[in-house]
Structures are given as structure tokens and as C-alpha cells.
Chains A and B, each alone.
Chain A
Amino acid sequence: MSDYFCLSDLSFSYKGYGKTEKLPPVLKDLSLRVKEGSRTLILGPPDSGKTTLARIACGLLPRYIEGYLTGKVLLKGEEIPASEPWLLADKLTYTAQNVQEQLLMTTCGDEVAFPLESLAIERQALIERVEESLNSWGLLKYKDVNPQELSGGERKRLLLAVTAAIDAPLWIMDEPFDDLDEQWRQELKKRLLEKKGTVIVFASRYIKEADSLFDNYYLLNDTRLSEESRATAFSKLQALDRGTALNIKMEKFHQNRELRCEQMVIGHERRSTDSTLPFTLKIDRFSLKTGEVVALVGPNGAGKSTFSRVLCGLKRPQQGSITLDGESIAASKRLAQVAYLFQNPDYGIFLSSVEQELGWSLRHSAVHSKQEQIASAAKLFDLNLDENPSMMSYGKRKQLQGAVYYILNRPFVIIDEVDSGITSGDASKMVALLKQRGSAVVVITHDRSFAKQVATRQYKIVDGQIIESEVGQ
């Protein structure tokens, strides 16, 4: 059987804007052959170029993002029409990892209908396909609802409904199991098994649904793609995830400080169209002492970010107050005491080099050794002082966020989803660095085993209550 889909000697580098014309290659001489009807899993640690490869395979890159591509992408023996991507609309569907990239419309129905309209599907049939696809992913009730009002998992399902409606023979999916809860992960596995067509899935972590789902396994790492058996692919991935051992010297800068909340009630507008009532979070008692690492866990939408916003002073609670070292502390004062690293590291970027971004953190201080501090922070977080932050990979931007707050040296630090988008090894390192001078660190995570790895205590959000629980539960 000839290859249905083929990547041949693919090499790719992003364009450098500045000193270098070409950034170091993301992919080098990559080849991949996929048979018709097969299911392939391509594993790769964060920042390995998975999304870049996925986009190139679909003809989406380099189109409006500049880069240098050599090699070929072949579908059924012919090169894909990279200059007329609409020709692929009914042949290949790409499901992005970041759902927001692919949402176009203001209602779920319109979203599913858009590609069908492009394909000039006749109206009656179109309406039926929209309803059927939405229904199969449990979204029919949201047909006239704005996708921005849905939860992350529901939006992922919307993308899957669009994919189902188009029903192209080739599916290229980037982290499709992400964000879905158990029930829908099983459902996705079932659909993939039933799919009459070819499927290529990209992932960066172990997915248990992978057992008995895929025919071929590949590992993408350090610009190369290699075929592996299922066992070696996952074990190699895990090794890459762990990273190297840490050796960080602790300093005693922040000591004996405690942040406390008691009998607190926080208003939390839950993002789901099931209930439009604002929902409240109750905290009986929460304490955070310098020097410790505390995990905060709970399902999506439970209120972890809301609680964090209250702690750092961005939001006021409905009832109760927060004390620092026994004394009540106002929201505006908390801003300087409690750091909050948002899940998305891009919110703070506005300067053109790492050096400037780090320097911005020091602009108020009269410290003489600013340059040294900047240089040492960059070194600790593996950053290049001259690089432009908006051109760096996601993992590096996260490290930059860490470095910015490392320099700010606040006594209390909250990190939201530190382990998403970077390896567990790098995430542990970031936590250790932020804790280095005695700060208290709150780690928000989904990964119970990561929580166990880094934290000594844990708080859990269950049914609107924040309670202390055993780490890793």
C-alpha cells in the first residue's frame, strides 16, 4: 500500500527578526510515512516543535508566520497546495491545542456551520449535520450560545464537533485529550477507533487512552523524529520530562511571615451556562508560611484562580479579611506582597529583550548591582539576555515570567499551572528557584503526582469549599 500521507526531508526554522536571519532549526530532515486508515501518535516534550510540525503538515505554516521550510508534505502522492489552503478543507482537518485559535463565530451552531458553508453544502443537509455533530458531543443545548461562555472542556468538544461535521478523511490533532474530562476522553477514544480514515495525534504527556488506540508511535525530540514501540516512546518521554537533578542553594531572606485567611467568602462567577448564579467559595481557614510549598488543586472552574486573585489583592472577598503576620492587610497593599504568575505568561510582555523585561522589574529599586541581578536571573532560568520575548518559545516565555518574579522577590508567590507547557523537571526547578530565598509558594496544578513532588501541604477545592487535604489526593 502506498503512503497516504508523507513528510519528506522536512526542515524548518522560524525567521529571526534582528541579529539573526534564521532562528535555530525546529525540525531537521524529518520524514514520516503514514498509511491510509492508520492511527499514529507522535509524542514530544514541551517545546519540541509538535505544534510547528502539526501546522506544517496541514499547510498552515509558513503562511502568515514567517519561516524557512524545505522538504515536502505529500497527501496521496501529491504535494499539498500550501498556497491555496482552502482546497484542503474537506480533505484534512486540524484540531489545534489552543482552541481559541480556531474559534471564529459567535454561536456554536455558526461555528460548526462555517466550514460546511465554505463547502457549499446545501442548507437543509447543513442544518442537519450541524445538529447531529453538536448533539454527538453533548452540545446541542448550546447551539445558540456564544462559545466564549463555555468552559474550556466544552470549547474543546465544540472543535471536535466541527471536525466531526466536516468528516474529512485525515485528522491531525494536537493534544485532543487535553481539557476533556474522563467521560469525554473515553468518547473521543471511541470515535477515533470508529473513524473511517487516517488519524495523527500529537501529545506531550502519557495518555492512558493511548493503550490499544494507536498503530504507530513516534518520538519528536531535538529536531528529529524517530519511530518507537509504545513502551519505549513513553519511557523516553518520561525521562525527558523528568529532567536533571536540582542543586539550588537556599538563602534565608524571607522568614517567619504568615498569610492567613479565616472565615472567608468569595464571590465566583462560574463559567458555565448551566448555572448563571454567582457561586461562592468558602474558606474556613487558609494559612501560608514563608519557606513552604503548598499545592492548590481542584477541577477546572472550581475557583483556584479566583481565590488567587483575592490573595494577591486583585479582588476583594465578600466576607472575611486577610492577615499578614497577624495584622489585617488591605487589597492594595497585598499587590506588593503576593506575586501571582498567571497561567498565560504573555500578559506581561511588552519590551523587546529579556534584559529589558528583567530590568523593568528593578526600575523602582536603588540597588547598585542591577546588571548583576539581571544577568544571574537570566542564567538561572536559562534565558538569553538579547532574545526578544515575543519570538521565544512558550516554555521560554514561562521561564521569563518566572525570572521576572524571581527578581521581584516577593514573600508570597502563587503560580498558576506551572507544569503546563514545560517539563516536570523545569517546573520543579522553577518552584525551587522561586522558593530559594524563603518565599512561600502556592502551586496550582492538575497533576497530583507533580503536587506530591513539590509540595508539603495541599488545599483542595471541593463543592465550593477550600479545605486542607493530603498532598497528592
Chain B
Amino acid sequence: MNTNTFIAGRGLLYWFDARAKLLTVLLFSVMVFFPSQVVMLAILMALIFIVAWRAVTFKQALKPLRTLLFILVVMALFIPLNRRDGVALLVIKSYVIITKEGLNQFLTLALRLLIVTYLCTLYIWTTPMADINLSFRWYGLSYKVALTITLAFRFIPFIGETFTMIRDSHSLRSAHGESEGEKFHIKDLVPTVTSALVFALKTIPHLATTLEHRGFGSGLKRSDYKVLEAKGGLFIHFLLSAIILLTTFVLLNSI
């Protein structure tokens, strides 16, 4: 099970400090939801796509679009139901199908969705998970919650693999002469889920005692093996963040 979301690379986005980047993504996403012109949103989306293309390959940059494709199609199909009282654009047999306002509404929603998706995705691709966790801590997330997240990531592949073995084990056990077709049957679902949960629960006492055995729980202030280092000083990164946000704000509110 692959829990790795980071795509190695170089460039501005990788240099950009995780904390400042996080703030940028958040505020940018919020700004995009305020009323603005479709044209401006389209320009922003195009710029973001180009940035994505530069950071990772073209094929990779298309991926978020692909995950959104179906919902965009569904949204497009619903256009005829939007704002039926507007300026007609497409009329078939005197029945208004698409209005200008309806199309506008679709494009606004679609572009917002694309922008926010691309921003979040680019953040994940260019920031290692450990750095994201450290950013949250810098913003105030407690060590305990950050540790819970790290431990969850540690156990996800382990439990995932175990789940596969458990599923296979039940398939083997259940197989009988007359069984046909795929190896995993729906009636094995409850046994498999039960076994998987028992297995997971059994690891909890060991995890708790290991944490304590390695010194966790004393309440003493811990030292830090890894810290975030903003190359060139954190101020420059937040300045960059401010520039991006201000430019976006201006663009969205012009006209």
C-alpha cells in the first residue's frame, strides 16, 4: 500500500517553505470563492496548470483533471436546470436549454473546483508528509496529535498488507469443490473484517508499551530531530506568499 504522496522534483514550489505554502493554499482557496469574473478564474486556472506542468510532467499534471472529469460532466449535464430565466444561448424547438447565466454559473463552479483541487494537489506533491506534519505543529497542532498522525502513517502499510493476507487466508479456508469464479466472496466479508480488527487491536498494547519504553509519557520537553528550515529565512517565504495572495486578490477583483 503506497502512502507516499510526494513527487520528487525541483523548482520554486519545492523551495517554497511548507508553512508559507500552506497559508497560501488556504487563503487562495478561500479567495476563489468570493464573487469574481469567470475570465479571471480561467486565467488563474491556466496559470496554475502551467505551474503544475513545470513542476511535474504533463501527464502527471493532468491527473487531478481526470479525477474531476466525471463530476464536471455531471455538472455540465445539469446546466439546463440552472438559471432558466436568463438570456437564452441555446434553444431547441423553442425550448430553452442553456442560458448565458446558467453557463456562467457552471463555469464559475467548475473553475473554482479545479483551482482548489490543483492547489491542494500541488501542495501534497511538492511537500513531504513529514514537513506537512511539522507545519501543522508550527501552527499550533499539539505534539500528541502530530504523533498520532505519524503513527497512523507507520501502520497503514502494515495493516494494509495484513488485510491482504487475512483476505487470502479466508479465501483459502472457504474454498470448496463447487466454488467458482473470483477468489474473494462477499460472505467472507464479516470474518475478514473481524480478523483484521482483532489483529489491529492486538497491536495496540504493544504500541503503547513501546512508546513508553522509548521514553514517551514523561511530560519532559522533547528535543527535535527534524525541524523545518526555510531556505533564505522564513520572512522571504511569507513575503512571497503575500505577493501571490495580493496579486490574486487584485486579479479577482478587477473589472
Contacts and interface: CB of A to CB of B under 8 A. Distances in A.
Interface of A: 55, 58, 60-61, 63-65, 84-90, 94, 96, 100-107, 109-110, 113-123, 126-127, 130, 146, 148, 309, 312-314, 331-332, 335-336, 339-340, 342, 344, 346-350, 360-361, 364-365, 390, 404, 408
A171 to B, nearest CB: 13
A344 B166 CA distance: 10
Contact of A350 (B179, B191, B211, B222): B191
Contact of B212 (A86, A105, A348, A408): A86
Contacts of B224: 117, 123
A71 to B, nearest CB: 20
Overall SS of chain B's interface: helix
Interface residues of B, number: 56
A408 B172 CA distance: 10
A65 B172 contact: no
A60 B213 CA distance: 8
Contacts of B206: 96, 101-102
Contact of B205 (A64, A88, A96, A103): A64
Contact of A332 (B182, B198, B207, B220): B182
B210 to A, nearest CB: 5
Nearest to A313: B183
A106 B172 contact: no
Contacts of B179: 332, 335-336
Contact of B194 (A102, A118, A119, A350): A350
A90 B215 CA distance: 8
Given A100-B203, A347-B168, 9 more contacts: A63-B205, A85-B212, A90-B215, A115-B215, A117-B223, A118-B222, A314-B183, A332-B179, A360-B173
B151 to A, nearest CB: 7
B150 A89 contact: no
Contact of A130 (B172, B181, B199, B225): B225
A65 B205 contact: yes
B171 interface: yes
A408 B173 CA distance: 8
Contacts of A63: 205, 208-209, 212
Contacts of B157: 146, 148
B225 to A, nearest CB: 4
Given A115-B214, A348-B173, A364-B176, A110 B183 contact: no
A427 B175 CA distance: 25
Contacts of A331: 183
A104 B208 CA distance: 10
